[in-house]
A = this chain, B = another copy of it.
Amino acid sequence: MVTKNEETNFQEKIKAIQDTMFVLGGKWKIPVILSIYSGNKRFNEIASSIPTITNRVLSKELKHLEENLLISRTVIDDYPVRIEYALTAYCLTTEEVAAPLEKWGKNHLKKISGKV
């Protein structure tokens, strides 16, 4: 038995978590952010730093991240036209999510494989 307020909190928690999952969830979003964070700026650099991602998927992910204000896309107009991706200042807040996800995943692997 829960009170009205606990009930409301519960629904709000669910919504907030589902929102985060929409923006940062899926197989590739955080890996793309980490790739740019670790120094890759150009489309092909990012693509080759994430071995099994395809052009089409990377293109979609970059758009999604840009729409959510997490990365910027700059056109550099010399030969041949280059594009540079960069993380926004806001994107650095995703570290608060990525670090726990990484830590939990590493521990879970041990747990499941019976070593903990």
Contacts and interface: CB of A to CB of B under 8 A. Distances in A.
A4 interface: no
A25 B31 contact: no
Describe A's contact surface by its main secondary structure: helix
Given A14-B34, A69-B111, 7 more contacts: A2-B39, A6-B38, A14-B30, A14-B31, A15-B105, A69-B112, A90-B111
B19 A109 contact: yes
8 contacts: A17-B98, A19-B105, A19-B109, A20-B101, A20-B104, A23-B105, A68-B112, A69-B112
Contacts of A13: 34, 98, 102
Nearest to A99: B100
Contact of A105 (B20, B31, B105, B112): B20
Interface residues of A, number: 49
B93 A17 contact: no
A1 B40 CA distance: 8
Interface of A: 1-2, 6, 10-21, 23-27, 30-31, 34-35, 38-39, 49-51, 68-69, 90, 93-94, 96-98, 100-109, 111-112
